[in-house]
Structure 1
Amino acid sequence: MHVNNLRSDALEIFNYAVRNSLPDSAVEKALSTWKLPQKIILVAIGKAAWRMAHAAVTSLSDREISGAVITKYGHSQGPIGKLQIFEAGHPISDENTILGTKYVLEITESLTSADCVLFLVSGGGSALFEAPLSRIPIDEIVRLNKQLLESGAKINEVNAIRKRFSLVKGGRFAEHCKPASIYQIILSDVVGDDLSSIASGPAIVDVSNAENVKSIIRRYNLTIPDVILQSIQSEMPKKLDNVKTLVTGSVRELCKYAINKANEMGYDTHLLTDSLGGEARDASDMLYKQIKRIKEGMFVCEKPCALIMGGETTVTIRGSGMGGRSQEMALYAAQLLSGCKGVTVLAAGSDGTDGPTDAAGGIIDGETWERLKQMNINPKEMLDNNDSYNALKKCSGLVFTGPTGTNVNDLVVALVL
C-alpha cells in the first residue's frame, strides 16, 4: 500500500464517521418519544443548529412551529419554515450573537404553563447564545472570552466562568421560560457528556459555585474586570422542574463509525481513547509513542493498522499565528514523526471548522516536516508561533470539509503500514 493511499483512506474514514454522525435521524428518534402540543416555539443554538432545526420541522410537519435558529456564520443552508435564522460569531460572540439571543428572549417572554419550547442544543452554543447581565458591556465579554480561549483552560472551566455573567447560561434560559415546558435535545460535543458544559447549559442546573470559579481564575492567572468579578457571586438556578432532556450523538459514536469503516477497509483497528483531552501537543506525544511501539513490534497488531482517538484538546496560545487545536496536533505530530515511513495522521473537527479558521484540521505523514524545510520554511518557528494553519497550507496538509451540520468533538485517525 502506497503512502498516498493512506492519505485518501484517512480522509475516507473521517468523512464516513462524520456523515454518519449527522443529527437528522437522532432528532427524529428523540421527538418520537414525546407527545408535543400543536403549537411549538423552537429554539436551536450551536454549530449544528440549522441541521437539527431542519430535521425537527420536517419531522413535526403537522405542527405550528415558530422560533429561531442561531448558528455560526456559513453554517445555515437557507430558510426553515417560519423560523428566524441568525448567523453569529464563533468562537467569539459578536453583535449578531446578542441580536439573535435578544430575539429568543423576546419570543419566550411571559410564557404560560400551556406553552411548549423545543430547545435544540449543540456545541458552539456558548458563543452563539449569549446576553450578558445588564451591567456588563459586550466588549468586556468579548475580551474575556478571547482570554479564556487562549489560556489553555478546559472547556468545562471556560464555561463555568461564562455562566456567571450571562442571562441565558447555567439554567437561566429555562428559568426565563417558566412556567412553560422545555423539551430539550442535546447533541453532545463534550467528553463524558457533562450536560452542564454543553453550550454552557442554558436549560441545565449549574453544578459549579463561586469558589470553583475563583479557583479557575487563579489557576490560569486570568485578568477579570471588576464588573464581571461582581457577577461571580450571583445566584444560579438550583432546580429546573420544567425541563425534559434527551442526549443524542457523542464522540463515542463518532469513533465507533470510524472504527467500523477502517475495519471494513482492511485495517486492524484500535481505539486508543474516546475521551481525549489536555494539550494538543501532549495528545500528539501519546499518539507518537503508540506508533513507535507498532514500528518496533511492541504493539500487537496486524498491518496495516489504524489507531483512532476522539475528544477535544486545548492549545495554550503563546504566538500570534493562525490555527486550531487539530491543526496544532497535526503539525506537532509531523515533527515527531519526521522520517518515519508508512505513517499518516489526520486530526480534524467533526463540525468542519477548527479554531478560527476555514479548515476542519490537518493531515500529515513522515515526510511533511522535511518537505516544509525543503521549501525554505522553518516549521519549528511556525509551530512555536501557533501558526499551524499557514504551515500546513504550504504543504497541502489542511483538511477542508466546509460546515458539516454536526458537532461531536474531534477525530484523530492514524494509519500505519
Structure 2
Amino acid sequence: MGDEVQDFLKQLFQRAVEVADPMKSLAAHLPEKPAGRVLVVGAGKASARMAEAVEAVWGPCDGLVITRYGYARPCKGIEIVEAAHPVPDEAGLAATKRMLDLLADLDEETFVLALISGGASALLTAPAGEITLAEKQAVNQSLLASGAPIGQMNVVRKHLSRVKGGQLAATAYPARMLALLLSDVPGDDPAEIGSGPTVGDASSADEAKSILDRWKISVPASVEAVLAGPSGVLAPADERLSHVTNTIFAAPSQSLEAAKVLAEENGCEVEILGDALEGEAREVAAEHARLALSRQRERQAGSPPLLLLSGGELTVTRRGDGVGGPNAEYALALAAALDGADGIHAIACDTDGVDGAAEVAGAVIGPQTPARAAAAGADIQEALRHNDAHTFFASIGDQVVTGPTLTNVNDFRAIRIG
C-alpha cells in the first residue's frame, strides 16, 4: 500500500509540473507576431522552453536567452546560452553583456519579447560598480546559506546589479516590450520573479544594507561602495518602464489546483494550505506534522483520504556541511515529527527538478521511513543536524529524481492522510 500511495503522490507532482509546461501554457498569452523588428530575450530555468514555445507559434526569431546548464532546448532562431545556477558564472556574465548590447539603441518601432522565469537572478549577471564576479558569487552564496526569505535576497541582488529591478527594460527603452513571466515566488509579485529585470522596485540601497546586516553577511569594499552610491534600480513610475507590459502566464496556484482536481478524481478530499508559504523548512514541516496528526484524529472511520496541498518557497539556514535543499529538508523534518505515524505519506519537490543545488527534485516519506532508515544505518536527526537530507533519502531509496522539468513554479508539497 505504501508504494502505491507514494506513486500516487508522484503522479500529483507530475501533474503540477505538466500544467506549468510553457509548451502548454504560454501560447494563450502570446499576441500575433508584430510587424517590423522583433527581438526575443530572456533568462531563467524555464526560459529556453519558453523560447521554444514562442517559436512554435511565431516561427524563427532573433534573440538571446540564458538558461541553466542542461536546460537548453532546440530553437531555430533564438540563441540559447547555458550558464550556472544558483551561483552565477563567467558564461552568465558574458551572455548578459551580449544581451544588454542587443537591447541598446533600439527605437520605438522595435518589439521586444522578454521571457523571465525563476533562476533569472543568477543567470542574468551584471555586477554594479567595481564588484567582481567572484565577489558577486560570494555574496550570493552567503545569501543562499543565510536563511533569508527570497524577497529580501532579491532586494540585495537588485541593488548590486546593472540588470535587475527594471534595468533590463530600461536598456531597451523606447522599444515596446512584453514580458511573459513564469512565477516561482510567493504571492506572484512580478517584481520578485527573477529579481524583476522588467519591473520597477521601490526599495532602496539602505534597505539592502539593512538586510545584509540583519543576516550577518559580510561584504567587500566594492559592495559597500555600490550601496553607498546612487542605485540603478528603477522606481515603478519611471518613464523608461512606460512601454513595458508584464504578464504572468503560469503560477503555483494553477499547479496546485490541477493536482487538487486529479486527487479528487481519485477519491480524495483536498485542503489547500496556500500557494505562497514561506519560512524555515524544518519549522514549517513541524507545523504541518502537527496539522496532519490533528486532521487524522478528526477523521471518521470510513472517510476518504484527505490531501493537504501547499506551495511557496521555503528556506534553509545552513548549519552543517551536508547535501540538501528546502524540499528534502522539509520531508526529512516531517518524517522526524511524524515518527512513523500510520497512514500518513507525503511528497515535497521543487517543480524545476532541482532542490537546492542538487539534481534531485525532492523526496517522499511515509510510515515506513524510520524502518528504512534503520535498515540503511541512516539517522534522521543526524541528517537534520548536518543539513544532509539528500544523502539521507538517497540511502533509503526515497529521492524523487526527474531531470530538467523545463518549468519552475516553485515548491510542491502534498500530505496524504489515510
Q: TM-score, normalised by structure 2?
A: 0.95
Q: Which residue number corresponds to residue 130 of structure 1?
A: 125
Q: Which residue number corresponds to residue 65 of structure 1?
A: 61
Q: 1:335, CA displacement in angstroms?
A: 0.8
CA distance in 2, matches of 1:68, 1:252: 29
* Conservation of the 8 A alpha-carbon contact between 1:303 and 1:416: no
Q: 1:277 is paired with a residue of what secondary structure?
A: strand
Query: In structure 1, what residue type is equivalent to 2:303?
Result: E
Q: 2:26 is paired with a residue of what secondary structure?
A: helix
Q: Which residue number corresponds to residue 204 of structure 2?
A: 209
Matches within 5 A, 1:136-175: 136-175=131-170
* Conservation of the 8 A alpha-carbon contact between 1:91 and 1:124: yes
Mean CA deviation greater in 42-51 or 225-234: 225-234
Question: For residues 38 and 315 of structure 1, do their structure 2 counterparts lie closer, same or farther at Cα, with a shift above 3 Å needed?
Answer: same
* Conservation of the 8 A alpha-carbon contact between 2:354 and 2:360: yes
* Conservation of the 8 A alpha-carbon contact between 1:354 and 1:361: yes
Q: 1:375, CA displacement in angstroms?
A: 2.3
Partner of residue 176 from structure 1, selected from 168, 171, 175: 171
* Conservation of the 8 A alpha-carbon contact between 1:338 and 1:370: no
Q: Which residue number corresponds to residue 54 of structure 1?
A: 52
Query: In structure 1, what residue type is equivalent to 2:103?
Result: T
* Ranges in structure 2 where 5+ consecutive residues have no aligned partner: none
Query: In structure 2, what residue type is equivalent to 1:54?
Result: E
* Conservation of the 8 A alpha-carbon contact between 1:268 and 1:302: no
CA distance in 2, matches of 1:54, 1:319: 40
* Conservation of the 8 A alpha-carbon contact between 2:129 and 2:226: no
Partner of residue 45 from structure 1, selected from 1, 26, 43: 43
Q: 1:29, CA displacement in angstroms?
A: 1.3
Q: Which residue number corresponds to residue 27 of structure 1?
A: 26
Question: For residues 321 and 299 of structure 1, do their structure 2 counterparts lie closer, same or farther at Cα, with a shift above 3 Å needed?
Answer: farther
Q: Note the alpha carbon deviations across 1:348-394, whole angstroms, 9 max, x for none.
A: 01111111101101111122123212322222112110010000001
CA distance in 2, matches of 1:103, 1:85: 12
CA distance in 1, matches of 2:284, 2:301: 21
Query: In structure 2, what residue type is equivalent to 1:19?
Result: E
Query: In structure 2, what residue type is equivalent to 1:237?
Result: L
Q: Note the alpha carbon deviations across 1:290-317, whole angstroms, 9 max, x for none.
A: 2111222269993312111111100001
Q: Which residue number corresponds to residue 10 of structure 1?
A: 9
Query: In structure 1, what residue type is equivalent to 2:7?
Result: S
Matches within 5 A, 1:153-302: 153-232=148-227, 233-235=229-231, 236-238=233-235, 239=238, 240-297=241-298, 302=303
Query: In structure 1, what residue type is equivalent to 2:30?
Result: L
Q: Which residue number corresponds to residue 382 of structure 2?
A: 381
CA distance in 2, matches of 1:213, 1:299: 51
Mean CA deviation greater in 90-99 or 216-225: 216-225
Query: In structure 1, what residue type is equivalent to 2:146?
Result: S
Q: Note the alpha carbon deviations across 1:255-276, whole angstroms, 9 max, x for none.
A: 1011011101111111122221
Q: Does residue 370 of structure 2 align to residue 355 of structure 1? A: no
Q: Which residue number corresponds to residue 371 of structure 1?
A: 372
CA distance in 1, matches of 2:79, 2:57: 18
Query: In structure 1, what residue type is equivalent to 2:21?
Result: L
Q: Which residue number corresponds to residue 86 of structure 2?
A: 91
Mean CA deviation greater in 205-214 or 119-128: 205-214
Query: In structure 2, what residue type is equivalent to 1:199?
Result: G
CA distance in 2, matches of 1:29, 1:290: 38
CA distance in 2, matches of 1:227, 1:135: 6
Q: Note the alpha carbon deviations across 1:209-258, whole angstroms, 9 max, x for none.
A: 12322221221111121211221242322211121111111111111011
* Conservation of the 8 A alpha-carbon contact between 1:373 and 1:379: no
CA distance in 1, matches of 2:202, 2:190: 10
CA RMSD of aligned residues (A): 1.6
Mean CA deviation greater in 207-216 or 242-251: 207-216
CA distance in 1, matches of 2:24, 2:292: 36
CA distance in 2, matches of 1:74, 1:124: 13
CA distance in 2, matches of 1:392, 1:382: 10
Mean CA deviation greater in 172-181 or 345-354: 172-181
Query: In structure 2, what residue type is equivalent to 1:73?
Result: Y
CA distance in 2, matches of 1:394, 1:106: 48
Query: In structure 1, what residue type is equivalent to 2:191?
Result: S
Question: For residues 335 and 170 of structure 1, do their structure 2 counterparts lie closer, same or farther at Cα, with a shift above 3 Å needed?
Answer: same
Q: Does residue 101 of structure 2 align to residue 103 of structure 1? A: no
Question: For residues 278 and 320 of structure 1, do their structure 2 counterparts lie closer, same or farther at Cα, with a shift above 3 Å needed?
Answer: same
CA distance in 2, matches of 1:218, 1:312: 22
Q: Which residue number corresponds to residue 305 of structure 1?
A: 306
CA distance in 1, matches of 2:13, 2:302: 21
* Conservation of the 8 A alpha-carbon contact between 2:256 and 2:311: yes
* Conservation of the 8 A alpha-carbon contact between 1:293 and 1:299: no
CA distance in 2, matches of 1:300, 1:144: 54
Query: In structure 2, what residue type is equivalent to 1:346?
Result: I
* Conservation of the 8 A alpha-carbon contact between 1:268 and 1:301: no
CA distance in 2, matches of 1:113, 1:178: 8
Q: 1:402, CA displacement in angstroms?
A: 1.1
Mean CA deviation greater in 175-184 or 366-375: 366-375
